[in-house]
Amino acid sequence: MGHTLVIVESPTKARTIRGFLPKDFKVEASMGHVRDLPNNASEIPAAHKGEKWANLGVNTAANFEPLYVVPKDKKKVVKELKDALKGADQLLLATDEDREGESISWHLLQLLSPKVPVKRMVFHEITKEAISRALEDTRDLDMELVHAQETRRILDRLVGYTLSPLLWKKVAWGLSAGRVQSVAVRLLVQRERARRAFRSGSYWDLKARLEQGEAGFEAKLSHLKGERIAGGSDFDESTGALKAGSKVRLLSEAEARQLQVEVQANPWQVASVEEKPTVRKPVPPFTTSTLQQESNRKLRLSARETMRTAQGLYERGFITYMRTDSVHLSDQAINAARSCVSEKYGKDYLSPSPRQFSTKARNAQEAHEAIRPAGEAFRTPNATGLDGKDLALYELIWKRTVASQMSDARLTMLAVELQADGGSLGPAQFRASGKRIDFAGFFRAYVEGSDDPDAALEGQELLLPALKVGDRPACKAVEALGHQTQPPARYSEAALVKMLEKEGIGRPSTYASIIGTIVDRGYATLANNSLTPSFTAFAVTALLEEHFPDLVDTSFTARMENTLDEISHGQVKWLPYLESFFKGEKGLETQVQQREGDIDPGVSRTVELEGLPCVVRIGRFGAYLETKRVAEDGTEELLKATLPQEITPADLDAEKAELILRQKADGPEPLGDDPESGEQVYMLFGQYGPYVQRGQVSDENPKPKRASLPKGAKPEELTLEDAIALLRLPRQLGDHPEGGRVEAGLGRFGPYVVHHKGKGEKDYRSLKAEDDVLVVGLDRALELFAMPKKGRGGRTALKDIGVPEGDEEAIQLFDGPYGLYVKQGKVNASLPEGTTADTITLEQAVELLAAKAATGKAAARKPGAKKPAAKKPAAKAPAAKKAPSTTKTGRLRASAVRVIRAADS
């Protein structure tokens, strides 16, 4: 008797599902996709090497026939799956229940060509009951879903691989464009443009501290002589002045201070008291998008971290499938949630009847239930055995699901109007606001944006003393406050995800990879949970806006998303749609060919920002400033200066630009002399930020001593003594008890201490934020050496994978913000989808690191080319790279995929 072969995506999912299947079932993992469009020229089969369309991976002349290949790292997996199929009397394809999962199943079917019956098995949670139901309710492959996913993949490839080579020639090598990625980048750029255009406005108001009986409360000035006092929302962001037609009173500083004296000296009286009961209903359970948003806000997890953590929870049977747009809960889930409410909070906190929610999101995905704890009874967070990010995310999902079945929260909003005599300025009106929670309801379990419901309830409740009309509270203090309006905030990951979903752009399940790609490609940096677009993002967005406006238009992209969904429901034919999008006079292919000759690379690499005495250009080594100036001999010459990386487009103003250009033209002003060498010490600005230098570059001294400023140090506050101390690093701290000397220094990744063990062996530790590299002592250094060694970003290695034969350094496994990665020395490489900490082998790690090293900077240079010379402060910024000629397009495309995977964005 044969066995039944079940194929899932990952080893973790395989292990979990194995426990719920009969003994004659064999479960194997495909490790994600087993087949895809070629990612590089080496993957193209010999039979298609000469074809013009082969690098694109789609034969646009033959009904957009995709060229599917098995990547090198999947050949072993495919062979193992074929071997497992031998002797099987049935094949069950149990990949995830969405389009992607349907597509993987179809590719498996095509590759394995089984001679036995094949069925599709779907479930949205991995529990015994769900697997039993799925076994009884198998179906055939849904080819409409497959076509929808295939069309999406082909469309992304057509956009990415057609536009990206254009960007390499017109802006900078290695850039990528993408159907959704480019729209997301434009959103970031538009917000940064708004920040640049923003003009701050100033206004004043008053805050009073009052007392009724022994209870204190605060009130803010709202009206003067019956006129409303201006607030931040009354200002025009483009002028910094009040909006046209605003009927408000703008208080000057002098008036505010005069009023402060008057109202403090005169009696106060309560003019009105208003109590307004209000009800808050619980929010729906999580979808992919809302989980990413709330996880980013509450747990500070990136979209990638959230999805990777949720994937692990789903595959281990803790939660339902994490890629869904539905807020619907099954009857089983509602009963489980209501049981949790009764047991943990009591029947008073249970909603009178079961709550059901309906999906309002555009393009709702196929998965038919919200993200919730798995099973017929929800495990409480402390009963799961989870820890770290897994526990935090499970707890978030548990709380939100349980809260959805709890009673409404009942609150009373309190508003008190108070009158005070403002003397010659007239009567002043103040307002005190409060909030009383009469019944916490679902707040007991879940408060949006807060990690601790109990603390949030305390923070939300703002009680006022019992006040009635005619009361005369005592004025204890009045403060005059000056305010500045603030520019629009940059997008956080949560805010960008919310905007993409609101506009109907892309799929929520792809947002994590889109944001990751934007950061990886250098279009944005992510710091303090804010996405800041780069100057390159400005250049690329401007090019696409001018020449391909539809591709970065939110409504056009949303309509395209709708069409793709209509294809998945069989309402639109996929082939005519691709024909109309890519071919014909208005098709993308023709548009790119027509526009290519019109686009001037010099213009495309130029970012013109209002108010600057120069332009910003994109060069081979980053952004630089360029302006014309008259030389000493009267001729006009170009002056170029590298832009420090920490300067953002919104922060670059005329003053900063002039300082950088002046320093480049005239040379830096010395801070003073080094008493030891007699040489002058300079403060300079380079691509990687400010640094100090002893002496000038000359033929006799081509590489003067330099030192970067520690992170957070302000150039304008640096003294000559500090500069000299930095230039004398590393400092000797003393001898290590185990032998060898200990030093403190400042390197590429910040300040550090190092133990020289002998025979070239060194042990490094990064200094903490509170440590000063110029004063840290031996005792503190020994404390740091006693701590476990951490990787970059302060991460502790999960484990040592091993030392490859012939090497001295071990390969370590780390968990970073974008998932698991392996690291050896300065090279690190992400683990492919489906590979886990348990399954990664030394051989796989060596292969991944070798592949990453091959696509690094060294590989980007031509064989035999010299390493670029070290940056010199006196040298001019590099000129913009010459665009490759159009005759090289074929070769350019052939090597394209070695640099980027444009279609995956």
Please list the active-site residues: 321
- CA of 387: how far to CAs of 417, 704, 750, in Å? 50, 51, 31
- Which amino acid, residue 143? M
CA 263 to chain centre: 49
Specify which residues 756 forms β-bridges with: 762
Measured distance CA(738)–CA(42) in Å, rounded: 51
- Alpha helix (H) residue ranges in 476-533: 493-503, 511-520
Query: If we measure between CA atoms, which residue out of 615, 520, 631 comes closest to residue 900?
Result: 520
Measured distance CA(250)–CA(244) in Å, rounded: 13
DSSP 16: H
Helix (H) or strand (E) holding 298: helix 288-299
With beta carbons less than 8 A apart as the criterion, state whether 86 and 55 touch.
no
With beta carbons less than 8 A apart as the criterion, state whether 315 and 10 touch.
yes
With beta carbons less than 8 A apart as the criterion, state whether 156 and 179 touch.
yes
* Burial 701-718, CB ≥16 within 10 A → b, else e: eeebbbbbbbeeeeeeeb
- Which amino acid, residue 598? D
With beta carbons less than 8 A apart as the criterion, state whether 689 and 709 touch.
yes
The DSSP-derived string for 767-792 is: PPTT--TTT--HHHHHHHHHSPPB-G
Measured distance CA(639)–CA(625) in Å, rounded: 8
**Can you read off the two tokens belonging to residue 130?**
């769900």
**Can you read off the two tokens belonging to residue 528?**
């303090």
Per the omega criterion (within 30 degrees of 0), is the bond before 730 cis? Answer: yes
Query: If we measure between CA atoms, which residue out of 723, 655, 658, 721 comes closest to residue 690?
Result: 723
With beta carbons less than 8 A apart as the criterion, state whether 36 and 13 touch.
no
Query: If we measure between CA atoms, which residue out of 43, 33, 208, 229 comes closest to residue 832?
Result: 33
Query: If we measure between CA atoms, which residue out of 901, 903, 897 comes closest to residue 42?
Result: 897
Measured distance CA(137)–CA(131) in Å, rounded: 10
Specify which residues 436 forms β-bridges with: 412
